[in-house]
Amino acid sequence: MAAGDGSLLLTLLDQAFDRKSWHGTNLRGSIRGMDDGQASWRPAPGRHNIWEIVVHCAYWKYVVRRRLLGEARGSFPLKGSNWFPRPDGTASWKADVDLLARIHRSLRAAVEELDPRLLRAVPPGGKVSRFDLIAGVAAHDLYHAGQIQLLKRLSNL
């Protein structure tokens, strides 16, 4: 990808997910060293836990990648959409963290390959530009990183 908006977006994605930045803990850093017991703690019945937030973030990275590339729905590795109950008796914390990392790498690769001239255009069937999709998913990572940090404090993790 050429310099300009594309490299800015890659920097935003990287800093929000797993690279050092001024704002503090990113998404990957917020779950570093966590085990499945810690990740499954709920602040109250019916509230999301850290594990569910991690899979939710993976799902939305998948959605953005799919929209950028014009792919059809239905290829997310887990059944459902948006929020996925965790643990569900069959889920593995490590596998879900690996899923998040794998989908992030896939999204990053898609952004890297995008023609910079297409960044300001709205993809077919979409409502916002590719630029806004990518910047938005980076903001989404940071929002949930902060939420995870708060949940960790509430649970004394």
Q: Which domains does the chain have, with CATH numbers?
A: 5-155 (1.20.120.450)
Residues 117/74, Cβ–Cβ less than 8 Å: no
**pLDDT at residue 151 greater than cutoff 70:** yes
Q: Which two tokens stand for residue 113?
A: 């390959």
Please report which confidence band the pLDDT of residue 147 belongs to, taking 50, 70 and 90 as the band edges: very high
Q: Per-residue confidence at 16, pLDDT binned at 50, 70, 90?
A: very high
The burial of 88, by beta-carbon neighbours within 10 Å (0-12 exposed, 13-18 middle, 19 or more buried), is given as exposed
Confidence band of 157 (pLDDT split at 50, 70, 90)? low
CA angle, 25 as apex, 109 and 108 as ends, to 5°?
A: 5
pLDDT at 19 (0 to 100): 95
Question: What pLDDT shows up at residue 154?
Answer: 94
pLDDT digits (tens, 9 = 90+) for 83-116: 999 988 888 999 999 999 999 999 999 999 999 9
Distance (Å, rounded) from C-alpha 143 to C-alpha 87? Answer: 22
Q: Return the higher-pLDDT residue of 90 and 136.
A: 136
Residue type present at position 152? K
pLDDT number for residue 23: 87
Cis peptide before 87 (omega within 30 of 0): yes
Beta strands in the chain (DSSP E): none
Per-residue model confidence as pLDDT tens digits over 33-92: 999 999 999 999 999 999 999 999 999 999 999 999 998 888 899 999 999 999 888 889
